Structure 1
Amino acid sequence: MIETTAALEDACAKLAQSDFITIDTEFLRETTFWPQLCLIQMASPTMEVLVDPLAKGLDLKPFFELMADRKVIKVFHAARQDIEIIHHLGNLVPHPIFDTQVAAMVCGFGDSVSYDQLVQRTTGAHIDKTSRFTDWSRRPLSDKQLEYALADVTHLRDVYAALKAQLEREGRAGWLTEEMAILESANTYDIHPDDAWLRLKARLRKPTELAIVKFVAAWREREARSRNVPRSRVLKDDAIYEIAQQQPKDTDALSRLRTIPKGWERSASGTAVIEAVNSALTLPKAEMPHAPKPTRSPEGTGAAVELLKVLLKLISDKEGVAAKVIANSDDLEKIAAEGEGADVAALHGWRRELFGDTALKLISGGVALRFVDKKVEAVEL
């Protein structure tokens, strides 16, 4: 277990000599806005290390420098949360990266294969998962916890080697480029408070309601970040929806809302919410957010989407690529409604070659689906 900056610097220098390293982190975030980093696991083909970021006086600068080293491929499984932590603490996004979960989808292991399933299917090894939900912030960590944590990166070396070889053998190495570019972009992790309302699922359509949701959600986001508490600890989603619908302009009106705890309206938070509501209501109508107008799809689009789903499943199974990597439901609806004019990933690059061209032929009558010998097949007309 590395607990000093000098030991970390030495380990990172040795790891940097490898073409790739595998990385995983253990963290807690149930009671905080920002994840609390509790353990870092790294491995190269010749060494493995555990780093205690909670050790007194430990400076993670050598680790962040390794993450920024473009000569070393950083291998993660389901990388987004690990990268989010690194981005928050080190103000950087690791480059270059290889996400084995995405690679596994391209290699035919299903839509979201778990790490232990992937290890078992590629290496035959079994991982003891009993330590997965332990408290990683408590010290000392048990030998069982450390063994579990280290297994996350030692097995990942073999998984990476197997997936990399399969991608190269099948000529699909370039297929990961687009997905990795998204994970390597700082914009993926920089969510501005003013955009926080876009994460909410309220079925509100009036511009004034949407403006209030936007302003109150932005206040909640800033408050949660500054206090480092979960958003729901500041104000629940249901309360934001009710505030947007009832539009309380003073604390008395706020106190009458069902979702507001008794007395909360007299707090500094209650005052801030009232200010947010009144600010939203003073916006010029032209500056208020608008819900997108529902588009009426051409007649027959629904049936065309169902045919495209069958075609997608057919090609996904045949080529051994997870369907959701090729196209999602929105892609299929846009292809069915707009044809060649649909601006979707499924009509670009390798996805078009694999699926998009055939999909366009299907909806234009150039390809048919038929059921033969208990299976569906696509035939050119």
Structure 2
Amino acid sequence: MTRLITDAAELAALCERLRQEPFVTVDTEFMRERTYYPELCVVQLAGEEEVVVVDTLAEGMDLAPLGDLLADPAVVKVFHAARQDVEIFLLRFGAVPTPIFDTQIAAMVAGFGDQASYDALVRGLVGVSLDKAHRFSDWAARPLSPAQIEYAAADVTHLRAVYRTLREKLLAEGRLDWVAEEMEGLLDPRAYVTEPEDAWLRLKPKTTNRRYLATLRATAAWREREAQRLDIPRGRVVKDESLLEIAAAAPRDAEGLARIRGVSEGFARGKSGAGLLAALAEAASLPESGWPQPLEGRRGAGASPALVALLKVLLAAAAEAHNVAPRLLADTEDLERLAAEAEPEIRCLQGWRREAFGEDALALKAGRLALAAAGRRVRLIRVS
């Protein structure tokens, strides 16, 4: 039976009980449509017996005991697709939950494909079809409906069985260490911080014009700081397409800024417009040595498309042979760097990935390995 917790003392007692468990399944419901930072609305927790939904917005709610539970090294915190949940807890408690187990990552190691959904795992491993009717609920609205509470609870109820099944499978196959290694990226607090100076990278500009890139970097950094300061989505400050146009036009005054499509007169002549114009002026004064390099001029540039394509075939064959998701072994950037550089410092040339794929990839580059079709599979041919 699912319980809704709206009382701080009841939450503290629950967390004390859950700290005696070997693991606890965790999920969150949050809102981010109107804010830069996610607004935590609900936390779902399940131990061996208890399943609860915590109303984090309840009056007088103190979440400190939850923070202690998430930091307890004796209790494994089980998530599915943990990144957003971990980010929320890092913002709230100043630390990443530890230790954690992400069933989406575990599913990739166990051969369930790239980014297996929670619904698919529950259906495949537990034999239950989930009702996702409340996926887009307004979780900040109160009171929570009984249907919302049951929907939220389902996300941790069945996660217990998914966790046990995947863990047993991976333990039997000797692959728990593979999961632990992949989980390390989730434990680094720096992975959840967007540095304003790097905000331009998410726009993926195609140009090689370094002066333009310097201007885009400055305007994107200003927008990121302004969005953080006002706690509103970055698109509410200036939309991506307008930001790209501003960087191209590089207006020097409010009149020129107001001529950009999507920029209002009020914005251009107000405090935000003045801040944006100051960022543009600062970018204009940068010497050439301070301009960023084009994205296509960074690591992996000069890679032969044909060689990258061949490495992708080898990657697919290796993933099939080891029954893991290809993305777990290497991503496109890894393959491009592998094709362009002699032996780059990339994850597929380290640890178990090197044994499963990296050594063959280096042999393919060196002409010591060939690929051939063998019925419905790809055969690796060693060349002496």
Q: CA deviation at 1:192?
A: 2.3
Residue of structure 1 equivalent to 2:186: 183
2:76 paired with 1:108: no
How high is the sequence identity, in percent, across the aligned residues?
A: 46
2:360 paired with 1:358: yes
What is the one-letter code of the residue matched to 1:354? A
What is the one-letter code of the residue matched to 2:367? G
Identify the range of structure 1 (254-263 vs 219-228) with the bigger mean alpha-carbon deviation.
254-263
Q: CA deviation at 1:313?
A: 1.2
Whole-angstrom CA distance in 2 between matches of 1:247 and 1:146 = 50
Which of 216, 219, 241 is the equivalent residue of 1:216?
219
2:118 paired with 1:119: no
Residue of structure 2 equivalent to 1:97: 100
Whole-angstrom CA distance in 2 between matches of 1:365 and 1:213 = 42
Identify the range of structure 1 (289-298 vs 72-81) with the bigger mean alpha-carbon deviation.
289-298
Deviations 1:188-210 (A, max 9, x none): 11222232222222234333322
Alignment of 1:281-300 (within 5 A): 281-292=284-295, 293=297, 297=302
Deviations 1:260-283 (A, max 9, x none): 224431111111111111111122
Whole-angstrom CA distance in 2 between matches of 1:337 and 1:193 = 30
Instruction: Report the TM-score, using the length of structure 1 for normalisation.
Output: 0.94
SS across alignment from 1:21: strand
Alignment of 1:161-310 (within 5 A): 161-292=164-295, 293=297, 297=302, 301-310=304-313
2:36 paired with 1:37: no
Whether the 8 Å contact between 1:39 and 1:51 is mirrored in structure 2 is: yes
Which of 321, 326, 330 is the equivalent residue of 2:329?
326
Which of 366, 369, 374 is the equivalent residue of 1:367?
369
What is the one-letter code of the residue matched to 1:350? W
What is the one-letter code of the residue matched to 2:264? P
SS across alignment from 1:280: helix
Which of 122, 136, 139 is the equivalent residue of 1:136?
139
SS across alignment from 2:261: coil
Whether the 8 Å contact between 1:77 and 1:99 is mirrored in structure 2 is: yes
Whether the 8 Å contact between 2:212 and 2:248 is mirrored in structure 1 is: yes
2:74 paired with 1:79: no
Q: CA deviation at 1:128?
A: 1.1
Q: CA deviation at 1:296?
A: 6.1
Whether the 8 Å contact between 2:30 and 2:42 is mirrored in structure 1 is: yes
Residue of structure 2 equivalent to 1:153: 156
Whether the 8 Å contact between 2:216 and 2:244 is mirrored in structure 1 is: yes
What is the one-letter code of the residue matched to 2:27? D
What is the one-letter code of the residue matched to 1:96? P
Q: CA deviation at 1:116?
A: 0.6
Whether the 8 Å contact between 2:301 and 2:336 is mirrored in structure 1 is: no
Deviations 1:296-346 (A, max 9, x none): 637xx333322222221112122110001101122222223334x222211
Whole-angstrom CA distance in 1 between matches of 2:335 and 2:360 = 12
What is the one-letter code of the residue matched to 1:119? V
Residue of structure 1 equivalent to 2:66: 63
Whole-angstrom CA distance in 2 between matches of 1:205 and 1:364 = 31
- Structure 1 residues 281 and 38: CA distance shift in structure 2, 3 A: same
Whether the 8 Å contact between 1:21 and 1:44 is mirrored in structure 2 is: yes
- Structure 1 residues 243 and 374: CA distance shift in structure 2, 3 A: closer
Q: Which consecutive residues of structure 1, in runs of 5 or more, have no partner in the other structure? A: none
Whether the 8 Å contact between 1:242 and 1:259 is mirrored in structure 2 is: no
Alignment RMSD, CA only? Answer: 1.7
Aligned positions, number = 378
SS across alignment from 1:213: helix
SS across alignment from 1:148: helix
